[in-house]
Every structure is written in C-alpha cells, then in structure tokens.
Amino acid sequence: MFLDDLPSIAERRRLGIYVSDVENCVAERFGEAVARQLIRACGGQTILLPRQARPKHKVAVAVGLPVLAALIEHYGAPQSIYIPVPSRWRYDVRLRRAIMANPGATNADIGSVAGCSERAVRRCRASMRAAGLNPPAAASCSVAKRNQETTSWPT
C-alpha cells in the first residue's frame, strides 16, 4: 500500500481531503505513524470493538493494546467502526496540489498535469469551494475564445 507517500493529516486538511475520525483519534493520542499502521493493517474493514481490550483483538495485534483501549474509550463498546482505506487519497492530493500550484491555468491544463479529465478538475474545484477552501479560479480557455472569434456563422 502507498501509505508511506501519503501526506500528513495537516496537509490533507489544508487541501480539503477527508481525514477519518478513527485516524484523527489515533493520531491525536499516539501519532500519525501509529494511525498509518492501523490503516495499513485494518483499512477497508469494519471492526467490532469489544467491551474490554483484549490482546488477541485485531487492532491490539496490529498497533497495540493501548490503541484498542483508546478506541473503546472514544467510541464505546460494543461498537462497530469502519476504518477507511486510502484508495483515492493519492489522486486527490495530486489533483488538489496541481490546482493550488497553477493559479490561472485552465481546467484542461491542470487535468493534463494531474493526469485526469478537465471534468474531474471542475468537480474538484467545486468540492474545494464547498469545503470552504478558496481554490484559484480557472482561466477561460483561450482556444475556445479564439475559435469563437474566427468562426463566422451564416446569418
């Protein structure tokens, strides 16, 4: 899994990328390295938290008994929690970095830099605005303007 090149929680928040409550809870108490270790071991799974922390529980085996105890304290028990897998995070980070680093660029230009469609760039800008971030506005496509200026329509 690519968790080693995943940006920090602070950078993902700055870029408006989802940080799960489970990851946040573990990172606040035990550090981001432990949170990544938990995601690496249990990501994409629903975990049932027992009433008492037990050393043979999947979370305790992966990251230690104190982490399991902290999750039980935070969420209560018995409780099921879902630990998300970072399937789209790398893509989102790359795209959002490209948007922020290229103010005034067209959606098509950013799409080619980030390896996605201009539609994905438009959607990403909209989701960044919805999250309260202020991404730079897209430049209007000069090719479309040039085509409009040179094309004469019969009247």
Taking residues 94-113, what's their average pLDDT?
A: 85
What are the Cα distances from residue 111, in Å, to 38, 77, 120, 134, 148?
Answer: 33, 45, 8, 18, 23
3-class DSSP string for 113-152: HHCCCHHHHHHHHHHHHHCCCCCCCCCCCHHHHHHHHHCC
Asked if 93 and 7 touch (Cβ cutoff 8 Å), the reply is yes
pLDDT of 70 above 90: yes
pLDDT value at residue 147:
46
- Tell if the pTM clears 0.85, that is, is over it: no
Residue 126's CB is within 10 A of a number of other CB atoms, namely 11
Q: pLDDT averaged over the chain?
A: 81
Q: Has residue 98 got a pLDDT over 70?
A: yes
One-letter amino acid of 71: L
pLDDT at residue 27 tops 50: yes
* All domains of the chain in start order, with CATH: 3-83 (no CATH), 89-150 (1.10.10)
Q: How confident is the model at residue 146 (pLDDT cuts 50, 70, 90)?
A: very low
User: Looking at residues 66-74, what average pLDDT do you find?
Assistant: 93
The whole-number pLDDT of residue 148 equals: 47
Confidence class of residue 135 from pLDDT cuts 50, 70 and 90?
Answer: confident
Taking a C-beta distance cutoff of 8 angstroms, is the pair 89, 36 a contact?
no
